[in-house]
Amino acid sequence: MQKFLSALKPGESGRVVAVNGEGRIRRRLFDMGVTPGAEISVKKVAPLGDPIEVTLRGYELTLRKSEAACVATE
Amino acid sequence: MKTFALCGNPNCGKTTLFNALTGSTAHVGNWPGVTVDKREGTYKKGKEPLGIMDLPGIYSLSPYTPEEKIARDYILGGGADCIINIVDATNLERNLYLTLQLLETDVPVVVALNMMDEVEKSGDKVDVAALERELGVPVVAVSATKGRGIKELMERAAAVKAERKGVCLLAGELTQKRGTEDGSAHNEIAACDENADTEAKLAADRYDFISSRLAPLKTKAKREKLTKSDKIDKVLTHRVWAIPLFALALFLIFHLTFSENLFYLNGFTEGQAWMPSLVELGLAAEENGEIIYNNFGVEILAIFYDGAVFSPGVILTNFLNLFLNHISSGVVTLMENGGAAAWATGFVGDGVLGGIFAVLGFLPQILVLFMFFSLLEDTGYMARIAFVLDRLFRKFGLSGRAFMPMIMGFGCSVPAAINTRTLADERERTATLRVIPFFSCGAKLPILLACGGALCAKIGFGNADLITYSMYLLGIAVAIVSVLVMRGTTLKGETPPFIMELPAYRLPKFKNLMLHLWDKTKHFVKKAFTVIFASTVIIWLASHLSFSWKYLEDEAMNNSILAQIGSFIQPLFTPLGFGSQLGEFGWVFAVAAITGLIAKENVIATFGTLAGCIAALGANVGGIFVPDTLAGVEGVTDAAAMISATGITGAGIIAFIAFNMTTIPCFAACAATKGELPKGKFKFTLLFWIVTSYTVGAAVYTMGNWWWSAFIWAAAVGVAITLIVLANKGILRFKRAGARRNKSKKTGCGGCCGGCSGCGK
């Protein structure tokens, strides 16, 4: 089942199937390793509810929920 | 001379390697994006000297922020004989993405596998020889912090041939590319196949290649599920505790730096002291408002304790001031005994030493504050704060990334302004640049401490650090309001994205920290003996010469050039409480504020230079009793002298501090800001600073003097906010009507008032 990265709860993980969104954000996500096929897991949510911290390719990345909504996982 | 450029992901240790290679002391930190400009050095330990170029970190060859563009342009511009690609071995996968892109270009590349000591420490292994085979370029394992492998790296880099044809390690169809926009295969393929999502495919292919062929070359040891970094992180970014912990950390930093009452043994106000002061203990005596210690031992004791235990910052400050006081009184005695003319003694004692020492005396506190902020940065906590506070920043229309330049502003506005290059959005950058001076820098600290201390003395309040703390908070509050207003009016735009790497927590390196502090000390002392020295000489001369170039005794200062000019501009500051309403020396505040435009240290240096004259005039300097806890610090006594001679009110003093904190920063900061702002924005920025500081100063003064004026200010702020909100709604309507440039508040308001009442009904 497809789920957007923003909908994953802390501790859940998925595999990236598609990255949508505006050009610059999309390219930056690619540069940071958020590419189709990448395993990604949500580590935690910031105290104020946004942004989220994810683990992928062995490192930690933070992005906002609005940006995470561009990433479709399964 | 050959030039090698250091290139790699942000926070992979480029600058650490640069420092190790060149013996420089460039600023490093555990935060992605510390280096924001090219930096050159020389490596001298090899056969021939080699030029080393440190570049800002990049994740790929497609630039996203201005500082990334600098790096990309340099690499592809062919300025370097060899690119040393630094790869963080603890984070191999993502770092190799840039490596693949570099290999696709024609530049000669050597890979430096950095942080190998950390990899080994965690029990992991990397097959360096196999990685070299796969990549087809030299790969050298190094540890920049420990200085390992550096010699080998330089030898292999020097041996690399200048000519190299780009290779693509991916599937065969992508192998040839030339003259493309980002120098990688990207455009070429886009041309081949317009329908497919080539950008995604290429990025995914590169990463697939890395994860299938290269990543397995690193073998991971078995480890516990939670690393140390994770455990620390759980506490520091806890859903409930993260924000209180951060507030506590900030309070502790300021308390340890500024408090004269470390354990609150002295109660919260002067009256309720629980511990005896040195005078009460009979170890010191008070004469004419000055403290005379019984012997040198007591004088030393007074560095640490006097009715209350001091914080480390204050202890160090007292220590340095004891030293400086002895030097300056020694020099003056020596000159007097040697039969030097009175004017010469006055010039050296009051003019030069008085001014410079009044500023230099605060160096320890500046360093302690700086050290704490470096620690926050080096451990990786700062990046987490950006993560925790991003939501809050977004409310103001900024991203969490803007947090870093703002915090840097507490140290110095110049590097802070340059650091705004890490912000991708132009409007966000402009807004951040404009509020950076409100984050009170180290040079403004003497103003806070001297005036705050003198104010405490005047009103009999025991905790000068609370005044310092609240002035910092005032600066932050002004910054927040300004950003809100700017993002609501002239700098409207969408909130910029926030996609940032969170670095692993690391133990700060003692050597780095010391180098960093040493750099800061050098910079400050150099400034004290150049810019501030020159300014104090000019101020002294201007205060001892009349317009007919006649030398004036101290007593005749009011006829001097400085007094004439000062009196002329003084009325400008009347609404702020340090203008025409002051007594006969009222112009010193106006003069100090103006000299502060050259360097903020000048404000207190001016006081220091002029205090001697005022004392000579027999003005009522003893009117304010400076408590023994503060008497040793020269700047405080000078400020107290100014306050009692001019009769400025408490509200006026605070307004003076607030004005200096929020007004146009020093020359250097202005130049840095101008360099980072988009073209044509600097004029408005200057105007913005003048208007803001004037408004804040006037608000502080009037509210402090007449409490009911708070209602007027509140009403004015309310009206302003309503106008902005309504104008924004109104402008939306105007846009639809086709009038795009209707941005002035008045027209916006006129348009929307009608609209609003319509809504209400």
The SS3 assignment for B493 reads coil
- By the 10 Å C-beta count (0-12 exposed, 13-18 middle, 19+ buried), B175 is classed as middle
pLDDT by residue (tens digit) across B27-70?
Answer: 888 778 778 788 888 988 888 888 999 998 899 888 888 888 88
Shortest distance between the Cα of A38 and any Cα of chain B, in A, equals: 8
How far is CA B189 from each of CA A53, B183, B200, B348, rounded to the nearest angstrom? Answer: 33, 12, 12, 73
Residue A44 touches partner B, C-beta closer than 8 Å:
yes
pLDDT by residue (tens digit) across B319-364?
Answer: 898 898 889 889 989 998 988 888 888 888 878 888 888 788 888 8
Residue B448 touches partner A, C-beta closer than 8 Å:
no
The SS3 assignment for A71 reads strand
Q: Which residue of B has its CA nearest to A29?
A: B499
> Which residue matches tokens 């000062």?
B566
Question: Contact A31/B211, CB-based, under 8 Å?
Answer: no
- Residues in chain A closer than 8 A to B91 (CB atoms): 57-59
How far is CA B383 from each of CA A61, B186, B501, B655, rounded to the nearest angstrom? Answer: 11, 32, 8, 34
Residue B740 confidence (pLDDT) above 60: no
Shortest distance between the Cα of B126 and any Cα of chain A, in A, equals: 15
Report d(CA A59, CA A53) in Å as an integer.
10
Residue B1 touches partner A, C-beta closer than 8 Å:
no
The whole-number pLDDT of residue B745 equals 36
CATH pick for A3-73 out of 1.10.357.10, 2.30.30.90, 3.30.2020.30, 2.30.40.10: 2.30.30.90
Partner residue opposite B91 with nearest CB, options A45, A53, A58: A58
The whole-number pLDDT of residue B198 equals 72
Q: Higher-confidence residue: B496 or B52?
A: B52
Among B190-199, B339-348, B631-640, B751-760, the least confident range: B751-760
Residue B243 touches partner A, C-beta closer than 8 Å:
yes
Structure tokens at B345: 């003694």
Chain B contacts in chain A segment 2-41 (CB below 8 A): 18-19, 24-33, 35-38
pTM: 0.79
The mean pLDDT value for B167-177 works out to 52
Report d(CA B662, CA A47) in Å as an integer.
31
Complete domains list, chain B, with CATH? 3-219 (3.40.50.300), 250-365+522-664 (no CATH), 367-513+669-707 (no CATH), 716-760 (no CATH)
Structure tokens at B363: 């160096």
Residue B9 touches partner A, C-beta closer than 8 Å:
no
Partner residue opposite A48 with nearest CB, options B93, B211, B391: B391
The whole-number pLDDT of residue B177 equals 41
The mean pLDDT value for B672-676 works out to 88
Q: Which residue of B has its CA nearest to A22?
A: B497
ipTM value: 0.94
Shortest distance between the Cα of A42 and any Cα of chain B, in A, equals: 14
- Residues in chain A closer than 8 A to B394 (CB atoms): 50, 64
- Residues in chain B closer than 8 A to A63 (CB atoms): 497-500
Beta-bridge partners for A44:
A53
The whole-number pLDDT of residue B616 equals 67
Shortest distance between the Cα of A1 and any Cα of chain B, in A, equals: 21
**What confidence category does residue B621 fall into, taking pLDDT thresholds of 50, 70 and 90?**
very low
The whole-number pLDDT of residue B747 equals 34
Residue B734 confidence (pLDDT) above 50: no
DSSP string, B559-605: GSHHHHHHHHHGGGGGGGTSSTTS-TTTHHHHHHHHHTTT-TTHHHH
Question: Contact B237/A47, CB-based, under 8 Å?
Answer: yes
Structure tokens at B157: 């880099």
pLDDT by residue (tens digit) across B212-260?
Answer: 888 888 887 776 667 777 888 888 888 888 889 988 988 888 888 877 7
The whole-number pLDDT of residue B475 equals 92
The whole-number pLDDT of residue B456 equals 83
Q: Which residue of A has its CA nearest to B220?
A: A58
Residue B687 confidence (pLDDT) above 90: yes
Mean pLDDT of chain B: 81
Residue B122 touches partner A, C-beta closer than 8 Å:
no
User: Which residues, other chains included, contact A57 with Cβ-Cβ below 8 Å and sequence gap of 6+?
Assistant: A33, A38, B91, B93, B94, B207, B211
Interface with chain A: mutation pick from B227, B229, B387, highest number of A CBs within 10 Å: B387
pLDDT by residue (tens digit) across B293-328?
Answer: 888 888 888 888 877 788 888 889 888 988 988 898
DSSP secondary-structure letter at B2?
A: -
**What confidence category does residue B631 fall into, taking pLDDT thresholds of 50, 70 and 90?**
low
Question: Contact B499/A63, CB-based, under 8 Å?
Answer: yes
DSSP secondary-structure letter at B163?
A: -
- Phi and psi at A54, nearest 5°, equal -120, 155
> Which residue matches tokens 């609005």?
A66
The whole-number pLDDT of residue B274 equals 67
Report d(CA B417, CA B406) in Å as an integer.
9
The whole-number pLDDT of residue B39 equals 85
The mean pLDDT value for B155-165 works out to 79
Shortest distance between the Cα of A68 and any Cα of chain B, in A, equals: 10
Shortest distance between the Cα of B67 and any Cα of chain A, in A, equals: 15
The whole-number pLDDT of residue B266 equals 60
B344 within 8 A of B384, measured Cβ to Cβ: no
Residue B232 touches partner A, C-beta closer than 8 Å:
no
